[in-house]
Structure 1
Amino acid sequence: MTVNIAGVLSVILFYIVILVVGIWAGRKKKSEGEGDEFETEEVMLAGRNIGMFVGIFTMTATWVGGGYINGTAEIIYSSGIIWCQAPFGYAMSLVI
């Protein structure tokens, strides 16, 4: 197995850039002195004002991850679609 050196270096560089930007943004925020708990709550809860469209996509993104997608594909392949009830149940819970 060969290792793609350019690919590995690109990924490492990408993570270093993300780390540097995060540290820079954190220090900038601290120097402004706006570290209130209220502001954090506002950001995390979106001001308690999310529309239904965005709310549905947020819940779907929370449920559907890589493991969920791979597990669903595995069960459908091995047992058939009739034995894979989780996607249909999750879809119905969004409607109800």
Structure 2
Amino acid sequence: MAWVYLLLAGLLEIVWATAMKLSDGFSRPGASAVTLVASMGSFVLLALAMRSLPLGTAYTLWTGIGAIGAFVVGIFFLGESATAIRVVAAILILAGIVLMKSTSAG
């Protein structure tokens, strides 16, 4: 169940990061509220996952899911650039996530 919590926590990280961008510096109440609720949910789920997963594994995967997800959302929904260097960087992050997961017990 810890891996499910961690995946959901990572997905909520994507939500709150996107909502934070859309909040325009917390000047838009709806997006600001989504940011706060999603970030709290993400932290709670991460804490639940950390009950049985190692700190380094849980935190690395949580931030990695959020980073890759925010990168993808930025490109496909917010019109951000997908330069070769940015794509390679994202691939390296993804490789790190896969390696961390494949070497972790739990």
Please give the TM-score of this superposition, normalised by the length of structure 1: 0.31
Larger RCO: Structure 1 or Structure 2 (Cα < 8 Å, ≥ 6 residues apart)? 2
When Rg is computed on C-alpha atoms for both structures, the one with the higher figure is: 1
Please give the TM-score of this superposition, normalised by the length of structure 2: 0.29
